[in-house]
Structure 1
């Protein structure tokens, strides 16, 4: 048989390194389509002139284009037979990606845990994306629930990795040449700098986007994500296509422009959870909470740590009285972004 059914839970072992197929050269086409799919308006990614005024050679590709591309490479090997992608940790953006760069990715299995039902298990991987020069541009940990092929296959020894709660400010990478000493807040869209935000402040981002079936499938194909749950309506008992969690991340990040227009570059993903599934017809709204602020080694460039929450409802409720995520919460993402100090 020459076709590839994908890996199942019993096919993984701790320490296994998987080199993912099909390098991808990115261009301005990915940027244009990204901005068509999401209401993204970040000035640094929209204008080469604005990027040059901030010390970069041209506008880099949106950070989440890089994330989705590297992630998509890993899907056929990691999550083709997934029940759900569960979370992220220790993510760092290491180098900007520009049109014309070619990305590859590889993953190392760093943990395994079979579920008590014996039908599936959780696979922990550390994925690294590299450019055409072999330079790492992104690394992150994710964990995904994967079906078993053989329910009688023995459970592996449980090995759950210890993961940092957050990337330390000193480990954030400021792109070479980036500066904000001539930053034009009027062109960027808002006047607010790092000092204008207070710890614990909650920003409700006002706008909403209703998810359409065709758009989420187009987006998922754009990132070459082949997970069956996103396309095959017969793959779930309810007959629904599950929206790719990264689609929700990009929607929420784009919606956060209203109130966080100057949080320009994502430099770390501290943690994340897809709290509840998202399906076509849901309207996604977003709010952010300021968790921390820090200086970087570059004068004038600050870092802001944000909790970004996507919800299918209104308001800013994160958890119920039982401590569980509220039923409307779709995404809980903790990240660092660079912002003018």
Structure 2
């Protein structure tokens, strides 16, 4: 009897199916240290217990993307082990802080299926929930992924979920106790508050990082992402290992510190697309566009909606005349973050 698992293929998914993912993971300061070693992450709220305490929190929570990558990694063996590519995200919400010592697990529901016209693959939509050891939902998001078929066969009826284009700002969850009225801009690294940003403003984050195999492999293993295209060079005709999309998200987010140091917490993910593949040797830069601002009920706390773009090209360049992403664009991410007003 075969005891190994080759992973799911497109024909193995059923609409409405709920998948409980293995294996729960307890997070610690070790994950924070490795995260900050992999990326130039300098957000004050995630770096300093004292700074977080001055902002009304009991201590510094783990970086929002540590929670995202951990939950995402749990889903890979059941959702994207045989993926061709991870295509996009929507309706993402951070619902509670994750603290050192918390144990996270993940559960996904299949909410959409559509076979591609070539009959060799299809797109699977899942809504994933991250839960801590108390059963509290800390994170929820939708993603869709192109998955290979095991063999040609009859296509299921296509069901494409109707997803919101933006998480309404009035539904954003602000961590209990968060208070930016005494926010120390000097310690945070920049003087800019929410009122200093204008809708439509483009911010060039200036710095670039050349992606190397070592960092990518360490990041992918750190989050226990087992997708074959990230490890096995024989999975692609060009013999290259695809850089894990989460690695790019964190890299771009860290680069955005230069110009957005006070966008302290990501609280919602409106949309996201991995526009073009990234490979070792590519030099990644980042730019942001301010899409909207909003108030929250927390003292001194506002919300800014940002488009964060990782690119090998110029700041502000996104699509060509045909409406398609330019070939230099690697990532297009739309999210809400909390910022002092």
2:294 equivalent in structure 1: 294
- The 8 Å contact of residues 286 and 315 in structure 2, kept in 1 or not, is answered as no
Q: How far, CA to CA, are the matches of 1:140 and 1:255 in structure 2?
A: 24
Structure 1 CA distance, aligned partners of 2:214 and 2:257? 24
By how many angstroms is 1:313 displaced? 1.8
Which residue of 1 is the match for residue 112 of structure 2?
111
Match of 1:8 in 2: 9
Q: List alignment gaps of at least 5 residues for structure 1.
A: none
Q: How many residues align?
A: 340
Match of 2:145 in 1: 144
Q: Deviations over 1:210-251 (max 9, x none)?
A: 000011011000000000000101111100000000100000
Q: What secondary structure, in the 3-state scheme, does the structure 2 residue paired with 1:217 have?
A: helix
The alignment's C-alpha RMSD in Å is 0.5
Aligned residue for 2:240?
240
The separation in 2 between residues aligned to 1:158 and 1:235, in whole angstroms, is: 27
Asked whether 1:172 is paired with 2:172, we answer yes
Map of 1:26 onto structure 2: 27
- Give the match for residue 124 of structure 1: 125
Give the C-alpha shift of residue 315 in structure 1.
3.0
SS at match of 1:269: strand
TM normalised by structure 2 equals 0.99
- Deviation (angstroms), 1:154: 1.1
How far 1:299 sits from its partner (Å)? 2.5
Q: Distance in 2 between matches of 1:35 and 1:210?
A: 17
Unaligned runs of 5+ in 2: none
TM-score (norm: length of structure 1): 0.99
Residue in structure 1 matched with residue 203 of structure 2 by the alignment: 203
Cα deviation digits, residues 251-302 of structure 1 (max 9, x gap)? 0000000000000000000000000000000000000000000001112100
Moved over 6 A (4+): none
Task: Provide the secondary structure at the position in 1 that maps to 2:322.
Answer: coil
Alignment of 1:78 with 2:55, yes or no, is no
Q: Secondary structure at the match of 2:229?
A: helix
Structure 2 counterparts to residues 1-341 of structure 1, below 5 A: 1-151=2-152, 153-341=153-341
Deviations 1:40-74 (A, max 9, x none): 00000000000000011100000000000000000
Q: Is the 2:178–2:299 Cα contact (8 Å) retained in structure 1?
A: no
Find the aligned partners of 1:308 and 1:322 in 2 and give their Cα distance: 21
Distance across 2 between alignment mates of 1:236 and 1:326: 22
